[in-house]
Amino acid sequence: MKIFQTVLIALYCFSAHVFADDATAKSELGELIFEDQFERSESQELKDEPGNQWTTSSDKTAKGHKQVDLRDGAMHVFTHADANHATSVRHEFAFKDRSIGLRFQLHQKGDRLKLNFADPACKSVHAGHLFDAEVSAGGLTIEDRKTGVMDLDIRAKRLSGAINAEQQKLLATKKRQFPIQLELNQWHEILAHVDGHQLSVDINGKRVGSHHSEGFAHETKSLLRLLVPQTATIDDVRIWKRDSPRSAGTSTSRSSPELDFRSMVSPVPASAKFVDPNYYIWGGSMARDAEGKCHLLYSRWPRELGHNAWVTHSEIAHAVADDPLGPYKHVDVALPARGSQFWDGMCTHNPTVHQFDGKYHLYYMGNYGDGNATAKLNPIHRNNQRIGVAVADSLSGPWKRFDSPVIDISEPSDAPDALMTSNPSILRRGDGTYVLIYKAVGKNGRLPFGGPVVHLAATSDSPTGPFTKQLKPLFTAPGVKFPAEDPYVWFDGEQCWAIVNDHKGHFNKTGEDSLALFTSNDGLDWSVAAHPWVLQRKVSWADGSEQSFHRLERPQLWLEDGVPKVLFCAAEETKEKEHSFNVHIPLEHATSSNLD
């Protein structure tokens, strides 16, 4: 048995538990119906001879030149200089729901490998194209082509230049892109799962991306094409069939470990304190660009106006650093005031930034009003709070803002969000759909401030909406009026997590304002995690000192490969509220898990 087969089986057993025995394979992925380790020789060296019922496109697209070579127990694929199309290595498999796994190497810059699912009998699309999962050294692309670019009507209009704006918008929803980093000339594994309307892809044992689209549910996928426009090496192809789709969000990577922040929170270096003597600095959210530069989007407002001017004069500013822990340097204002005629024209606050499908999405609270920075909270601005999203190709902007909120108040006067909405947090589930959690206030309490204050969820197929509200209060505790605030939510490939500001420590049992951890299977029904403690109102500095705070809240995480690495918090030192800053807390020992 060749050495790479042994490595593959060991890795799959650890990451997916699917090769431990036949029963496990059947229970998780279905029944293994095909495997090819390419342990065979060719009878000649002039023509493609992949064997085992594989065929190629070389006769049609490369003038018969050899483009597939079996050697060293693997299939080496390249595209000949005379070819007019990517090399296609094909095998017929009629199925509806199935998982397909293989190992691969990419060898040079620009190499790509596409798993193309087709049905030549489908006459509404060009060449039978249904959908793809394409991997390169820098990214994964999942695309529904049946109801997108390969639909005959849409394809004809694209080729003639007659496609309209609505169709362009439709096409944008058919494709999702996910950043990855793969080394060239090294073995990697890809596992694609087709489950009804969902296509999910794991790479090297980790869920990288999923997409939900109607083309994936085409009744019969009869042909698998492995498309290689330059070079790639392929080995250990395996296919499992299922009688019915797996549940949304199911992954074959190892079961999600229990997070334990008590073992993760580490001393904070001096560079990880972002402070400005002239501004209050509050919630901050960080993302890293492709060049490795760290971008902090954060709330700030003039210190001379007092703490409560956050509701009238906050703006979302932009700072950069070379390291996630700083030091950060202010660059510009990402979302400045733009006039009271806009729903978010006078105040932008509490950002959270995410990359979805190759674009950056900045979620925030915005409002407008009379502009008066009052000693007590200005009720006009407070009640005009709504949730928006701005979109950009770069973390440096420019950011495209919209003329309407993405989460507005509900019209019924008795709705739990009839008065205001604010403080968004968002995750993308394994099925590619989005859950946005937000703070809301109803009109049942005494006006102008109303009440009660609750947290609600909304779902969408798109990061920019429209969102469907659930209107079921979350993070509640019996007999407690306002137990939680400021949730930050994320999906780790297996389950959903949330860090909340735990008022009075009801959930983590500290008895004081602190941060607590929740977990959920779907992002809609939440329960206290096994290790609920995240942070109390104190920080241990790298010089050995310890500092207590009046407030340490607005949690945001920076995740590296899905693992929490830095916890960003707004910090207020005293109850007099004379100043505030953002602190970036390093997280080590990311998980405690049972690897049996």
Q: Which pLDDT score, from 0 to 100, does residue 251 have?
A: 46
Strands 546-548, 551-560: pairing is unpaired
- Predicted local confidence at residue 362, as pLDDT: 98
pLDDT of 183 over the 80 cut? yes
Sign (positive or negative) of CA dihedral 170, 171, 176, 177:
negative
Q: Which amino acid is at 559?
A: L
Spatial contact of 520 and 435, defined as CB atoms under 8 Å apart: no
pLDDT of residue 592: 35
Q: Which residue has the higher pLDDT, 502 or 431?
A: 502
215-231 mean pLDDT: 93
pLDDT confidence band for 281 (50 / 70 / 90): very high
Query: Is-cis flag, bond preceding 398, omega within 30?
Result: yes
Instruction: Report the first-to-last Cα separation within the chain, whole angstroms.
Output: 26
Q: What is the pLDDT of residue 9?
A: 36
* Residue whose pair of structure tokens reads 């007659």 in the numeric block: 162
pLDDT score at 6:
36
Tokens standing for 88? 């296609």
Within the chain, what is the greatest distance between any pair of CA atoms? 87
Helix (H, G, I), strand (E, B) or coil at 563: strand
pLDDT at 209 over 60: yes
- Per-chain mean pLDDT for the chain: 90
Token couple for 11:
């890795």
- Is 131's pLDDT higher than 80? yes
Residue 586 has pLDDT above 90, yes or no: yes
Instruction: Report the C-alpha gap between 542 and 529 in whole angstroms.
Output: 29
Least confident range from 56-70, 199-213, 366-380: namely 199-213
pLDDT average, residue stretch 9-26:
39
Q: What is the pLDDT of residue 19?
A: 38
**438 pLDDT higher than 60:** yes
Sorting pLDDT into bands at 50, 70 and 90, what band is 149?
very high
Q: Residue 475 and residue 487: Cα distance in Å, rounded?
A: 9
Q: What pLDDT shows up at residue 245?
A: 63
36-48 mean pLDDT:
94
What average pLDDT score do residues 575-583 get?
97
Instruction: Judge whether 331 and 349 are in contact, CB under 8 Å.
Output: no
- Cα separation, 51 vs 559, whole angstroms: 44
**What average pLDDT does the segment 182-188 reach?**
96
| Percent of the chain whose pLDDT exceeds 90 | 79
| DSSP codes joined into one string, 311-378 | HHH-EEEEEEESSTT---EEEEEEE----TTSTTSSEEEEEEEEEETTEEEEEEEEE-S-----SS--
Residue 120 Rama label (left phi>0; alpha psi -120 to 50; beta): alpha
The stretches of 20-163 forming alpha helices (DSSP H) are 22-29, 58-61, 152-160
Q: Report pLDDT for 551.
A: 97
Q: Cα(332)–Cα(315) distance, rounded to whole angstroms?
A: 11
- Nearest Cα neighbor of 423 from 570, 249, 574, 244 is 570
Hey, what CATH topology would domain 31-242 get?
A: Jelly Rolls (2.60.120)
Q: Which residue has the tokens 């199925």?
A: 95
One fold for both 31-242 and 261-586? no
Q: Which amino acid is at 217?
A: A
Q: How far is CA 79 from CA 108, 177, 342, 406, in A?
A: 13, 25, 54, 46
Check if the beta carbon of residue 235 is closer than 8 Å to that of residue 4.
Answer: yes
**What pLDDT, on the 0 to 100 scale, is given for residue 589?**
56
Among 83, 101, 174, CA closest to 131: 174
Q: Which residue has the higher pLDDT, 251 or 48?
A: 48
Averaged over 284-310, what is the pLDDT? 96
Rounded to the nearest 10°, the torsion over CA 363, 483, 428, 215 is -110
pLDDT band at 493 (very low <50, low <70, confident <90, very high): confident
Check: CATH 1.10.3720.10 for 261-586?
A: no
pLDDT for the residue 244: 66
- pLDDT for 354 equals 97
Model pLDDT for residues 23-34, shown as the tens digit of each residue: 434 447 888 999
User: What does the pLDDT read at residue 574?
Assistant: 96
In the chain, where the domains are located: 31-242, 261-586
Mean of the pLDDT values across residues 392-409? Answer: 97
pLDDT of 278: 98
**Residues 6+ positions from 101 with CB-CB distance below 8 Å:** 12, 189, 190, 191, 192, 236, 237, 238, 239
Long-range pairs for 41-44 at CB < 8 Å and ≥24 separation? 41/70, 42/69, 42/70
Q: What is the pLDDT of residue 101?
A: 96
pLDDT confidence band for 213 (50 / 70 / 90): confident
CB-based contacts of 190, cutoff 8 Å, min separation 6? 101, 102, 104, 113, 115, 133, 135, 201, 202, 203
Asked if the model's pLDDT at residue 411 lies above 70, the reply is: yes
Q: Please indicate whether residue 26 or residue 459 has the higher confidence score (pLDDT).
A: 459
DSSP state of 501: E
Cβ-Cβ contacts under 8 Å for 120 (sequence gap 6 or more): 127, 128, 222, 223
Determine the average pLDDT of the residues in 81-94. Answer: 94
CA dist., res. 14 & res. 257, Å (int): 13
Query: What is the sign of the dihedral through the CA atoms of 449, 453, 455 and 460?
Result: negative
Contacts of 200 (CB under 8 A, 6+ apart): 192, 193, 207, 209, 210, 250, 251, 430, 431
Q: Is the pLDDT of residue 460 over 60?
A: yes
